[in-house]
Structure 1
Amino acid sequence: MDIIINIFETMIEFFYSFTGDFGIAIVLLTLGVKLIMLPFSIKQRIAMKKQLAFSKKIEFVKDKYKNNKKKQEDELNKLYLESSKGMLGCLIPILQLPIISGLYMSINSLKVEAMTILIPWAMNIGNADDKFIVPIIYTLITIAPSIISYFRVFGSNEEPASIKTVLPMMILGVVITIKAPIALGIYFITSSVFTLIEDIGFRLYSKNKVFS
Structure 2
Amino acid sequence: MLVDAAIELFGQQGYAATGVAAIATRAGVTPSAVIHHFGSKENLLRAVLDEFDVRAAARVAEHLVGVGPACEAGTGIDGAATPNSSHVGDGAVPAEPESTSVATPAQSDGGARSTPAKPGGGVATPDRPDGGGRFAGGKAGLVAALLADADYTMAHAGLATLHVVLQAEHLSATGSEVRERFLARNRALRRAFAEVVGEVGAAELVAFLEGALTLWLLDPATVDLRALYESYLSRL
Mark the structure with the bigger radius of gyration.
1
TM-score (norm 2): 0.25
- Greater strand fraction, Structure 1 or Structure 2: 2
> Which structure has more RCO (C-alpha within 8 Å, separation ≥ 6)?
1
